[in-house]
């Protein structure tokens, strides 16, 4: 497994080199990354081996500075028309991240492609891109949180303790302040989530970026958990929520009407399907958190029956009863209030 600390540090080095076209010293890069100069020299050598066009030059007072060689490297990048169309198409998937530097970089790159191509090529490019539509309904707008997100990314890269002002969905208080050790940002179903080690909770927790109103990156640096990997952290989650402890076996019987939906997609890495003679599907999962899974099961209505564990079965049954009672009450009220209705005659 790659060293996540090294990857984030090398990403910091590349961003530093890209932002300072006149070059940057090893000492400056070490200060940005919060490591010693020996580590930075090793990172630069490694990135050069990978093919990044990083060169050195002698500046004032004989000091060596490093920069990206645009003439020999980036400016020589050439794309075919189909490659440019693919970049244009991929830009659609970054629209939900409007306001972040990822989106800004994509917009800038596409602007350069448009400036280089002629009218005929642009027209063809638009036709190619129009053949694929990305529906992004329900995504969150981060255009007003660009600085906040950039601060969180910087805190993750530099391993800095961060103070946030946060209002959770279930919070009874207007706001709450948390001191966190930010570990990763996760994009899930059109929204960004921050995974952070929370000293207040004594555990790694998930915070929705939309509910963060303020971010302050502090000077205190923290040791990142060894080999922390978001994919491993969420391995036993059905979405973004996770709980500590061993995963629990879940068994659900799906009616034949939705069997193909189950067979067409891999909803979780632990998913195991068994088709029965009557056409039903017996699905098994191993999860440690049920929040996202309950919502998914409820979307199937009476076409999905939870067989185990008992606590999940009870939770889903309770949700169905509450919904049935709600609609039953609304139907009864509409019947009583409808013009011409006669409760006495209906009672006979």
* DSSP for 72-111, written as a single string: TTGGG----HHHHHHHHHHHHHTGGGTTSHHHHHHHHHHH
Task: Of 19-28, 270-279, 312-321, give the lowest mean pLDDT range.
Answer: 19-28
CA distances from 259 to 10, 71, 157, 273, 295 (A): 46, 56, 44, 10, 18
User: Which CATH class for the 4-74 domain?
Assistant: mainly alpha
CA distances from 263 to 42, 201, 287 (A): 48, 39, 19
Instruction: Determine if the pTM surpasses 0.95.
Output: no
CATH 2.30.30.520 boundaries in the chain: 146-229
* pLDDT of 319 above 80: yes
Which pLDDT tens digit goes with each residue over 63-107?
788 887 765 545 555 666 566 666 666 666 776 666 666 666 677
Please state, rounded to an integer, the average pLDDT across all residues of the chain: 79
Which pLDDT tens digit goes with each residue over 332-347?
666 656 555 554 443 3
* pLDDT of 57 above 70: yes
CATH 1.10.10.10 boundaries in the chain: 4-74
Cis amide prior to 309 (ω within 30 degrees): yes
Taking the CA atoms of the chain, what radius of gyration do you get in angstroms?
Answer: 27
Q: What is the DSSP letter of 225?
A: P
* Fold of the domain spanning 146-229: SH3 type barrels. (2.30.30)
* pLDDT of 61 above 70: no
Question: What local confidence, expressed as pLDDT, does residue 225 receive?
Answer: 63
CA–CA gap between residue 22 and residue 24 (Å, rounded)? 7
* pLDDT of 220 above 60: yes
Q: What is the mean pLDDT of residues 20-27?
A: 79
Q: Which element (helix H / strand E) includes 299?
A: none
């Amino acid at each position: 497994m790659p060293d996540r600390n090294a990857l984030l540090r090398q990403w910091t080095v590349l961003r530093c080199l890209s932002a300072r076209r006149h070059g940057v010293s090893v000492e400056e890069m070490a200060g940005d990354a919060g490591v010693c100069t020996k580590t930075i020299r090793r990172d630069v050598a490694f990135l050069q081996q990978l093919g990044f066009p990083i060169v050195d030059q002698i500046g004032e007072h004989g000091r060596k500075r490093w920069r990206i060689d645009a003439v020999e490297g980036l400016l020589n990048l050439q794309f075919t028309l189909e490659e440019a169309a693919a970049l244009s198409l991929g830009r659609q998937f970054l629209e939900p991240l409007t306001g972040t530097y990822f989106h800004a970089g994509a917009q800038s790159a596409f602007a350069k492609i448009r400036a280089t191509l002629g009218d005929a090529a642009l027209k063809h490019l638009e036709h190619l891109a129009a053949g694929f539509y990305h529906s992004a309904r329900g995504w969150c707008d981060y255009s007003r949180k660009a600085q906040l997100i950039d601060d969180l990314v910087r805190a993750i890269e530099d391993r800095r303790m961060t103070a946030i002002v946060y209002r959770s969905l279930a919070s009874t208080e207007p706001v709450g302040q948390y001191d966190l050790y930010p570990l990763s940002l996760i994009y899930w179903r059109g929204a960004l989530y921050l995974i952070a080690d929370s000293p207040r909770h004594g555990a790694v927790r998930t915070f929705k970026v939309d509910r963060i109103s303020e971010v302050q990156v502090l000077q205190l640096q923290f040791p990142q958990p060894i080999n922390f990997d978001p994919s491993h952290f969420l391995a036993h989650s059905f979405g973004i929520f996770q709980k500590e402890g061993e995963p629990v076996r879940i068994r659900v019987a799906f009616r034949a009407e939705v069997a193909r939906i189950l067979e067409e997609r891999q909803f979780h890495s632990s998913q195991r399907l068994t088709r029965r003679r009557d056409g039903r599907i017996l699905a098994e999962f191993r999860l440690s958190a049920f929040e996202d899974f309950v919502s998914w099961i409820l979307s199937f209505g009476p076409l999905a029956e939870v067989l185990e564990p008992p606590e999940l079965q009870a939770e889903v049954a309770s949700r169905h009863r509450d919904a049935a009672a709600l609609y039953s009450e609304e139907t009864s009220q509409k019947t009583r209030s409808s013009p011409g209705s006669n409760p006495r005659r209906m009672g006979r």
